[in-house]
Structure 1
């Protein structure tokens, strides 16, 4: 394995862990805090601001990197270590990126289109958005954490 690939894989372990940490914060305490504070407007602002931050670059950038890691593990490394690398990439791509695209983003878009001061928004916020968004966010947390652990294990198995 070249030094460049080794550095990329090590960086991906850190990137997966950083993404996981952001998701963990939301599932662990941010969403509960927003629920207590009636945070529809705050969540709408968070959903707008996330596109202007390092997190989005890291999160989206890891999608193609994850596919490359999966292919590298499956077709170049092979064996047990290669399987761990391939699984790490696929778990992130499906369980983190895919869940975001198919579940969290549509809920964010729906929330963005609502008037935060209307009574109907409160019902949607409490009964639909908070429990569903947090559930899928927790799946993203687990997936990105698992990807970090699997990739680290694969790297250790290779060395």
Structure 2
């Protein structure tokens, strides 16, 4: 059961890393030269579309699975698996804190801005959201790599 939980945590961490990476290398660069109204409308649509059960399953599921794997290996597993599993959990928790503290409030503010002043909404959103998305991409990637290493050790 420990390996199955660790495997599921690894897969979901990889999926989240891939999602944030896709924003870093394709979505946000594609919108960089778009008109402010288009930029705001597209991101508002994405924010509505991404709020679904499949996203939440990976977004929250990674934390639950990684925490469960950490506890299982702490209780009765090889110590060489516990350390990278705990590191993976910590990195993923850091990503969640960043998302909750910065990205979700920025997304909500962008949604609340509506279409009245898209240029102002974009200025308040893009310069902060984009670079910190790179950071959460790195956090998720580090989590994925750590969990992969734990699987190799298991």
TM-score by length of 1: 0.84
Between Structure 1 and Structure 2, how many residues are aligned?
Answer: 151
Structure 1 residues without counterparts, runs of 5 or longer: none
Question: What is the deviation of 1:44?
Answer: 0.6
Tell whether 2:59 aligns with 1:63: no
Q: Distance in 2 between matches of 1:63 and 1:32?
A: 29
Q: Distance in 1 between matches of 2:28 and 2:74?
A: 37
Which among 129, 135, 142 is matched to residue 146 of structure 1?
142
Tell me what 1:48 maps to: 48
TM-score by length of 2: 0.87
RMSD of equivalent CA atoms = 1.8
Tell whether 2:40 aligns with 1:28: no
Q: Distance in 2 between matches of 1:69 and 1:117?
A: 47
Per-residue CA shift, 1:54-94, capped at 9, x if unaligned? 12221122222222233334444363321111111111112
Q: Distance in 1 between matches of 2:105 and 2:8?
A: 30
Runs of 4+ more than 4 Å apart: none
Contact 1:67–1:93, Cα closer than 8 Å, also in 2: no
Q: Distance in 2 between matches of 1:115 and 1:128?
A: 13
Tell whether 2:28 aligns with 1:37: no
Q: Distance in 2 between matches of 1:131 and 1:72?
A: 41
Q: Distance in 2 between matches of 1:103 and 1:14?
A: 25
Tell me what 1:113 maps to: 112
